[in-house]
Amino acid sequence: MKRVSLATFLVLITTLILVVPRSLPAPPRDGGSYKSELRSIQAEQKGKGLDSCSACHSTNGAIYKFTEVNQWEGEGGGRHKLSYATLESDWSKGIAERLGGGSATSRQDCLSCHSYDYNLAHDLDDSDTAELEAATRKQMKLGAQGVSCEACHGRASKWERNHLSEDWASADEAKWLKSGMVDNRNLVNLAERCNACHVGDDEKVLTHTLYGAGHPDISSFELASYLNFVPKHWKSLPNEEADGHWSSARIWAVGQVASLRDNARRVGEWAKNWSEGGKPEFSLFECYSCHQNLMPKSPSWKSGREQLSEAGEPIWNASNWAMVKHLVTELSKGEMMSWTNSVKEVMSAVSVRRPDPQRAASAAMALEGMTNRLLDQISPYGKTASVDMGRLAPALLKGIAKDARYQMSVGPRAAEQAYRSMMVLYSWGWAKASPPGNHRALDKAINELGEIVLKFSGEGNQYDPLQQAMQESLNREDWKLNDEVFWGGKFAEKMQEIAGLLDAAS
């Protein structure tokens, strides 16, 4: 980084550079309050936009020449910078048309995830017309930057100045929060931030209607592997150095538990807004639990599977639970029964035929409480975690590999999570820390698992709107394939092979 000669900034820089260590005091933490508090603080603030950050966080910067903006814009920057442009594509035009016309770029239900900020409508809520127009133009310009800095770090009108103070970098979550800056140094906040768009929440929702209009399925988010595609513009995350090769295992664990929680929160949200006669939002469920029923299948498709929902009822998307249960086994086996009951309770309360929003609300809340406690254990704020992910990972891997039947009962999403979990825990952790003698065989088997899983989950399909969105996997030929590879046992066979190799490896 180059420094400017301005005396004021010189003092500033020197002090800032000296504050390197990131040991954080632990503030009190109670579950969902972080998000709601952040939201209400954010509501009073405006976005500043990329140009403003560029003054310091770009190599063209006038004041500092940090590189974050270049990384975000650059080739390895991923799709976030394109997320607004996506709304201008033919694909999005098609979606918007099927939703009743207009352009995707003016729809709040698209902008909420595809633009830089939480809620553009908020910024436009201004009674003065002249001001409103100016504000509209400005905010639309900012929105067009897509998922940029403030989407992850928070609206900056208040903290942009504050974060230049000497003690900022070493201040705790609570102080950042007061200014509306998201503390992503805390893995739990980080997961919550990504999940807002990649799982959805009360403000950002991918309804079944949007899917029906041709939106690709987002329900297979996995934090560690997705984070790997965000340019690493930070020094390190909590526990990263202590965890070494296993750091992605901790991110994986936090991601799984947080996604389970955020899926439960979506249930709570549905329950809160329920009105007499209403059905649960279809996107809360494992898509295939309905869509397979529309297709021919071999008579044996149910054999060996656990019946998780009442016959004829779709299954709540519990793909993350299918992973989290192994964390519970390793960390607090005694509580397994209450976890299982809690998940079952959510599953049966979110019923299409007999929706029970009251029960669903309390079941979701109970599950949320349990997930928050587990998150504190895996990634306590501001402290080195006592849970050694490296020590746990081999057992987690074996547990997951031996649990294919359960994953199949939950559905293809769970199988996809299982595959991604293998990647993260084995290939990025174990194999890097100390590859076992049979590494080549294991590596090969996990890659083959990926081929099986991604074939039925449809990843990599260049969907054409609607025609191909679900059709790709709904068309009969494909479903014969799904039948064969998934329900027909290829997935389970491969998992069994991997389990054997893992046993032999240690």
Taking CB under 6 A as the criterion, which residues in 347-406 touch ligand HEC?
352
Least distance between ligand HEC and beta carbon 1 (Å): 8
Which positions ≥6 away from 491 have C-beta within 8 Å? 404, 408, 415, 449, 452, 453, 485
Least distance between ligand HEC and beta carbon 440 (Å): 28
The tokens describing 431, both together, are 């194999």
Applying CB under 6 A, which part among 23-31, 88-96, 322-330, 356-364 lies near ligand HEC? 88-96
The dihedral of CA 419, 423, 425, 430: what is its sign?
Answer: positive
Alpha-carbon distance of 124 to 135, in angstroms, equals 7
Cβ closest to ligand HEC, residue 166 vs residue 330: 166
Contact 364, 264 (CB under 8 A): yes
The structure tokens 């770029």 sit at 105
Alpha-carbon distance of 382 to 239, in angstroms, equals 9
CA end-to-end span of the chain, whole Å?
46
Alpha-carbon distance of 386 to 353, in angstroms, equals 45
Alpha-carbon distance of 448 to 443, in angstroms, equals 9
Which positions ≥6 away from 37 have C-beta within 8 Å? 177
Does 485 bind ligand HEC (CB under 6 A)? Our answer is no
Q: Site for ligand HEC (CB under 6 A): how many residues?
A: 87
Stretch 170-229 residues interacting with ligand HEC (CB under 6 A): 184-185, 190, 193-194, 196-198, 200, 204-206, 208, 210-212, 215-219, 226-227, 229
Which residue among 38, 119, 150, 370 contacts ligand HEC (CB under 6 A)? 150
| Nearest residue to 423 (alpha-carbon basis) of 403, 449, 441 | 449
Please give the helix or strand (H or E) that residue 141 lies within, else none: helix 129-143
Applying CB under 6 A, which part among 163-171, 320-328, 383-391, 417-425 lies near ligand HEC? 163-171
Least distance between ligand HEC and beta carbon 44 (Å): 16
Does 453 bind ligand HEC (CB under 6 A)? Our answer is no
Applying CB under 6 A, which part among 89-97, 318-326, 401-409, 481-489 lies near ligand HEC? 89-97
Which residue among 64, 246, 252, 270 contacts ligand HEC (CB under 6 A)? 64
Cβ closest to ligand HEC, residue 41 vs residue 149: 149
Which residue among 82, 242, 295, 331 contacts ligand HEC (CB under 6 A)? 82
Least distance between ligand HEC and beta carbon 222 (Å): 9
Which residue among 38, 41, 110, 360 contacts ligand HEC (CB under 6 A)? 110
Stretch 5-34 residues interacting with ligand HEC (CB under 6 A): 16
Contact 64, 1 (CB under 8 A): yes
Alpha-carbon distance of 181 to 174, in angstroms, equals 10
Does 233 bind ligand HEC (CB under 6 A)? Our answer is yes
Cβ closest to ligand HEC, residue 233 vs residue 398: 233
Which positions ≥6 away from 228 have C-beta within 8 Å? 248
Stretch 268-307 residues interacting with ligand HEC (CB under 6 A): 282-283, 285, 287, 289-291, 294
The structure tokens 């003690």 sit at 167
